[in-house]
Amino acid sequence: MSEVLHQEKSMIAIEQIRSQFPILSRKVNNQSLVYFDNGATTQKPKSVLDAIQKYYSEINANIHRGVHTLSQEATDAYEHSRKTIADFINAEHAHEIIFTRGTTESINLVASCFGKKFVNAGDEILVTEMEHHSNIVPWQLMCEERGAKLKVIPVDDNGELILSELKNLLTSKTKLLALTHVSNTLGTVNDVKEISSLAHKNGTAVLVDGAQAIAHTEVDVQDLDCDFYCFSGHKMYGPTGIGILYGKEKFLNEFPPYQSGGGMIKEVSFEQTTFTTLPYKFEAGTPNIEGGIVLGAAVEWMKNIGMKNISAHENELLQYAIQQLKTIDGIRIIGEAKHHASAVSFLIGNIHPYDVGVILDKLGIAVRTGHHCNQPLMKHFNIPGTVRASFAVYNTMEEVDKLIAGVKQAKKMLS
Amino acid sequence: MSEVKSIEAVEEDIVEEFELFDDWMDKYQHLIDMGKSLPLIDSQFKNDDYIVKGCQSQVWLKGDYSDGKIHFTCDSDAIITKGMIAVLLRVLNDRTPEEIINAKLEFIDKINLKEHLTPTRANGLVSMLSKIKTYALAFSGNKI
């Protein structure tokens, strides 16, 4: 009974939430859009769209420079957003929040600066087998440059990290461990807190790719005790081209600059330049002011709904989708970790994921197909790719039903 | 020996065939069925030398030149991609290099399958088409 009540309660809220997303009422191929590609990017609520409009209509000016009122207002809004984001992930200081272009740039920044400062020939960097390419390649390049070695924590057939291996892989040479909070393909939630603690006991720094976690679960960087946490605005109801690097003050202060230019200097002469303090040291040039301000609006929107409510609703969708998919003969779920969030990957028999994606698109259902920038992981499972449905707070049980009907249709046409 | 139809005539045939379907499902079923008649590449050539890599699906393509014409054999790991190859090869296979070079392939638009030939699909078809044209350019110098 309580379950039924809960469902009804969440249904009412979901309709109210859906009405805030103009794009959700559009048609695709003459069908109502069912958007299950949230892992790639989420749609944007009206408050976020309004914030973009408001920024350019009312306060557009360059920040941190002018003495005029508009510049002051834009600067205040930008810095207010930084504070909002710091509070959202419970960072100790607002200056530990660096605005970047997205998760990829955040990881590149750390790889480059950490590498220059702390990594020498013979050192080791650890990643996991389930990392997105953007949390593999920057480390690979840095290792090549520094003469270091990249090592990999393997994944088991359920899509969970084999943590017993971690103890062997962490050595006196391991300078940093980079891992994802939530796998973009498998939906596996890694125990970042436990892994961070193990790494820190070994004197190893920890970077977390939070791109697939930040919109789906509560993130408390002090509780996780990671040294770096990276995420993208567009995967959390905000705009593209803006992202965050959270870094512990002690590391960021020791890092050399990443990019140089205006805004990040203290004094410049032709003989020597000195650099300014955090966070501006890492924000050279005119930043994405609109993106930074609007990301704050996106965070406010999520806070209003409540991360616990978002998680609970998405979890219901996920469990229902998995349960229903399993009723279809020949379905193979890729990744059945005990702690699972936000996305489910599957295959229908030997049918190529691309073919399934094409048929679902014809039915107005947007899913992701392919290797999801996870080629080593696809190799592990010996598959060309998967079909991935990933959820957001505005998705409904009825949409999951449409997905299941679509998968059955695709199976019929493609078998 | 019957006259070989021109590229334009074959294109027109295909457009007429696809016009019979009002429903997208029937159209796609037809496309999938066409894929089953593809002149398959010999499995020994399904290797890196003949692969056209797409992000989503893979295509293997081999062109052989004889009697002044190019004869293609092909395959893909996705059956809708295979169907699209079959449509394209029905027009472009066993043609002279010049015919291939000059083919406009505007019929793809008329049968509403152009979406499969956009680079964002990353299914290997766009690269496959340019590989077909590269074969044609390479063989256009041959006078056997």
Q: DSSP secondary-structure letter at A127? A: E
What are the sequence ranges of the domains in chain A? 2-37+306-414, 49-304
Q: Are A106 and A100 in contact (CB under 8 A)?
A: yes
With respect to residue B110, please indicate whether it lies within any of the assigned structural domains: yes
Buried b / exposed e over A365-381, threshold 16 CB at 10 Å, is bbbbbbbbbbebbbebb
| Residue numbers of B annotated as active site | 55
pLDDT at A6 over 80: no
Q: Which of A113, A143, A226, A373 is catalytic?
A: A373
With respect to residue B56, please indicate whether it lies within any of the assigned structural domains: yes
Greater confidence, B117 or A1?
Answer: B117
pTM, rounded to two decimals: 0.93
H helix count then E strand count, chain A: 14, 17
Confidence of residue B116 (pLDDT cuts 50, 70, 90): confident
- A230 belongs to the catalytic site: no
With respect to residue B128, please indicate whether it lies within any of the assigned structural domains: yes
Q: Give the CA count within 13 Å in the CB-facing half-sphere of A181.
A: 26
The CATH classification number of A2-37+306-414 equals 3.90.1150.10
Torsion angle, alpha carbons of A170, A174, A180, A185, to 10:
-70
Q: Domain A49-304 belongs to what topology?
A: Aspartate Aminotransferase; domain 2 (3.40.640)
Q: What is the pLDDT of residue B58?
A: 87
pLDDT at A8 over 60: no
Name which of A77, A321, A71, A285 is nearest A187 in CA terms. A321
pLDDT at A11 over 90: no
* From B29, B32, B123, residue closest to A354, measured CB to CB: B123
Q: Which residue range(s) make up the domain with B90?
A: 7-139
- Test A370 with B29 for CB contact under 8 angstroms: no
Predicted complex ipTM: 0.90
Q: DSSP secondary-structure letter at B114? A: G
CATH of residue B65's domain is: 3.90.1010.10
| d(CA B77, nearest CA chain A) in Å | 7
Q: pLDDT (tens digit, 9 = 90+) per residue, A16-35?
A: 999 999 999 999 999 999 99
| d(CA A196, nearest CA chain B) in Å | 34
| Chain A residues near residue B80 by CB distance under 8 angstroms | 354-355, 358
Per the document, the length of chain B is 144
pLDDT at A1 over 50: no
Q: Are A367 and A360 in contact (CB under 8 A)?
A: yes
Q: How many domains does chain B have?
A: 1
Alpha-carbon gap, residue B83 to B86, rounded angstroms: 5
- Test A354 with B80 for CB contact under 8 angstroms: yes
Q: pLDDT (tens digit, 9 = 90+) per residue, A88-143?
A: 999 999 999 999 999 999 999 999 999 999 999 999 999 999 999 999 999 999 99
Which tokens belong to B21? Answer: 């379907």
- Test B80 with A29 for CB contact under 8 angstroms: no
Percentage of chain B with pLDDT > 90?
68
Percentage of chain A with pLDDT > 90?
93
- Helices B79-92 and B24-35 sit at what angle, rounded to 10 degrees? 70
> Exposed/middle/buried for A70, CB within 10 Å: 0-12, 13-18, 19+?
middle
| d(CA A257, nearest CA chain B) in Å | 35
| Chain A residues near residue B79 by CB distance under 8 angstroms | 351-352, 355, 414
Q: pLDDT (tens digit, 9 = 90+) per residue, A331-376?
A: 999 999 999 998 999 999 999 999 999 999 999 999 999 999 999 9
- Test B28 with A369 for CB contact under 8 angstroms: no
Q: Are A321 and A344 in contact (CB under 8 A)?
A: yes
Whether A249 has its CB under 8 Å from any CB of chain B: the answer is no
| d(CA A120, nearest CA chain B) in Å | 35
- Test B80 with A371 for CB contact under 8 angstroms: no
- Test B28 with A371 for CB contact under 8 angstroms: no
Q: How many CB atoms within 10 Å of residue B140?
A: 15
Alpha-carbon gap, residue A75 to A60, rounded angstroms: 10
Confidence of residue B143 (pLDDT cuts 50, 70, 90): low
Q: A345: helix, coil or strand?
A: strand
With respect to residue B1, please indicate whether it lies within any of the assigned structural domains: no
Amino acid found at B130: S
Whether A257 has its CB under 8 Å from any CB of chain B: the answer is no
pLDDT at B144 over 50: no
Backbone phi, then psi, for A114, in 5-degree steps? -65, -45
CA distances from A64 to A75, A220, A304 (A): 6, 29, 29
With respect to residue B2, please indicate whether it lies within any of the assigned structural domains: no
Q: Are A150 and A120 in contact (CB under 8 A)?
A: no
